[in-house]
Every structure is written in C-alpha cells, then in structure tokens.
Amino acid sequence: SSSYSSEGDDLSVNQEKFFKNSKFRNEEGELLTLYHGSNNAGFMTFNSDSGIYFFTPDYEVATTYRKSFFVWV
C-alpha cells in the first residue's frame, strides 16, 4: 500500500493504519478519494436499514445526488 492518496496527499500514520486493508485503491496502490451524494449533507455517520451505501470516484456523478463531500473508504 501507498503513503499517499490518489490526489497526492500524504497520509498520516493513523490514516495508514485505518485504511491498510482498503480495497479502494488505484493501480499504484494509492487510496482512492470516493464521493457520496446525499440530500442530507453534514452527517457524520451512515445509517441505513439496508446497510447498502453508494460511493463513486467521480465527483460529477456524486453531485447528481445533491450535496456531496469526500469520504475515504
């Protein structure tokens, strides 16, 4: 795994530990920045009866679902 995000940002030691097993990486092993669009921006926890959440590496796609913000997965 890489010590950088796909955006070129340095990862902290805690981020490296937290995301060490993440499957959302590019070909170079860097973490992908993923976006989630929601009508309810500003929440800190995902709550869903189904337990299914949708993310995309494409910011433009996420904005079609209203307000968006990035999340590391």
Give the global pTM: 0.60
Q: What is the rounded CA–CA span in Å between residue 36 and residue 29?
A: 22
DSSP state of 28: T
Which pLDDT score is estimated for 73? 55
Rg for the chain, CA atoms, rounded: 13
pLDDT band at 8 (very low <50, low <70, confident <90, very high): confident
Give the separation between CA 30 and CA 49, rounded to whole angstroms.
31
Residue 39: C-alpha distances to residues 11, 20, 66, 67 (Å): 29, 30, 6, 6
Q: What is the pLDDT of residues 13-60, one digit of tens each?
A: 998 898 889 888 889 888 888 887 776 666 677 777 777 778 888 888
Map residue 53 onto helix, strand or coil: coil
